[in-house]
């Protein structure tokens, strides 16, 4: 689609900033916020790409996957077992490796900040299961996954070595940390943090109130409409450029408290102001995830990750 020229342009700009910093190393101290932003964008583009691939050509999708892996800081195949095949199936209910309520249903700054570490630990299980099933039943997919690992680590090492050769060990290492390593970590953390905020205190048993939406035009321009989360869960294969219109059709059915116009105001109220003024914090909308309707049992463990799932539309398969 024509809209996909923009994420490709964003990746090109991210690469341009990196080249500029490696040419003039002192630029890093002014430009590294851009590295963080473009790394976060790479994570979001990877998410969109794994739901609705950018290219119809398999090799081009594979090449884009490698480029996104470099900026995002981890092989993009992990979106398939942890997000496409797990999170979208359970949507913050029991079985979702990324549930927001595993240890507590409270919502505060500490829990939101540490969610990354908890979620990372539990998302390792569906990833491990996915890899084992790929190795046993789908060797081409398994080879492609390990190719992502190999290319990612090789390119990261090469970029670090390039900085060392150009600017010396100390400056080259600092350059790599600020331009590549730190932004990648910030990207993974931010993606998980955003997922937490889009689901904490929502109602996973509801048809339309299972997700929180950030509907401000600025954040959705900067983050490729990632704020429209309800319609994304309802139509995961829908192209990211079509989410605003789909949300507009559905928004009357979504609780107003789950449609936040200003993400910064929401975060300040929920995570800072609520510590001294609890009324500013989020409140549980509808039924809590730990309070299922009658007849539904809770089991936080999930080992039902499949290699292929109708409707996931994952680019990892398109590139096979």
- What tokens were used for 166? 């150009």
End-to-end CA distance of the chain: 21
Choice among 162-171, 181-190, 260-269, 298-307 with the minimum mean pLDDT: 298-307
Task: Look at residue 311 in the predicted model and tell me its pLDDT.
Answer: 37
Task: Look at residue 3 in the predicted model and tell me its pLDDT.
Answer: 92
| pLDDT band at 294; cut points 50, 70, 90 | low
- What tokens were used for 52? 């609705």
Is 311 or 93 the better-scoring residue by pLDDT?
Answer: 93
Q: What whole-number distance in Å separates Cα of residue 274 and Cα of residue 51?
A: 35
Q: What is the mean pLDDT of the segment spanning 86-94?
A: 93
The CB density around residue 273, as the number of other CB atoms within 10 Å, is: 15
- Does position 101 have pLDDT exceeding 80, yes or no? yes
- Of the candidates 99, 106, 104, the one whose C-alpha atom is nearest the C-alpha of residue 121 is 99
Q: What is the mean pLDDT of the segment spanning 277-281?
A: 92
Q: Which DSSP string do the residues of the chain spell out, in sequence order?
A: -GGGHHHHHHHHHHHHHHHHHHHSGGGHHHHHHHHHHHHHHHHHHHHHHHHS-S-SSHHHHHHHHHHHHHHHTS-GGGHIIIIIIIIHHHTTSTT-TT-S-SS-----HHHHHHHHHHHHHHHHHHHHHHHHHHHHH-HHHHHHHHHHHHHHHHHHHHHHHHHHHHH-HHHHHHHHIIIIIHHHHHHHHHHHHHHHHHHTT--TTSSS-SS-EE--HHHHHHTTTTT-HHHHHHSTTS-GGGHHHHHHHHGGGS-GGGEES-HHHHHHHHHTGGGT-GGGS----SS-TTSPPTT-----------S--TT---HHHHT-
């Amino acid at each position: 689609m024509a809209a996909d020229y923009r994420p490709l342009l964003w990746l090109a700009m991210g690469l341009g900033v990196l080249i500029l910093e490696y040419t003039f190393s002192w630029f890093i101290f002014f430009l590294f916020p851009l590295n963080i932003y473009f790394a976060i964008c790479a994570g979001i583009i990877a998410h969109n790409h794994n739901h609705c691939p950018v290219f119809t050509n398999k090799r081009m999708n594979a090449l884009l996957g490698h480029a996104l892996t470099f900026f995002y800081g981890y092989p993009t195949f992990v979106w398939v077992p942890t997000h496409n095949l797990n999170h979208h199936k359970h949507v913050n209910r029991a079985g979702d490796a990324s549930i927001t309520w595993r240890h507590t249903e409270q919502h505060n700054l500490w829990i939101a900040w540490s969610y990354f570490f908890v979620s990372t630990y539990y998302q390792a299980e569906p990833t491990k299961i996915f890899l084992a099933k790929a190795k046993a039943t789908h060797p081409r997919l398994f080879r492609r996954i390990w190719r992502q690992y190999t290319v990612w680590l090789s390119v990261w090492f090469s970029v670090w070595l390039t900085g060392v050769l150009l600017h010396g060990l100390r400056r080259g290492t600092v350059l790599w940390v600020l331009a590549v390593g730190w932004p990648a970590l910030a990207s993974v953390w931010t993606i998980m943090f955003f997922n937490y905020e889009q689901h904490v205190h929502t109602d996973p048993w509801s048809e339309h109130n299972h997700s929180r939406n950030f509907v401000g035009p600025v954040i959705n321009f900067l983050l490729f409409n990632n704020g429209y989360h309800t319609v994304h869960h309802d139509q995961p294969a829908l192209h990211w450029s079509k989410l605003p219109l789909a949300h507009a059709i559905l928004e009357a059915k979504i609780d107003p408290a789950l449609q936040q116009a200003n993400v910064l105001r929401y975060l300040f109220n929920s995570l800072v102001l609520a510590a001294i003024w609890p009324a500013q914090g989020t409140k549980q909308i509808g039924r809590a995830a730990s309070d299922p309707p009658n007849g539904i049992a809770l089991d936080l463990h999930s080992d039902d990750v499949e290699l292929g799932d109708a409707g996931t539309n994952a680019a990892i398969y398109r590139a096979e």
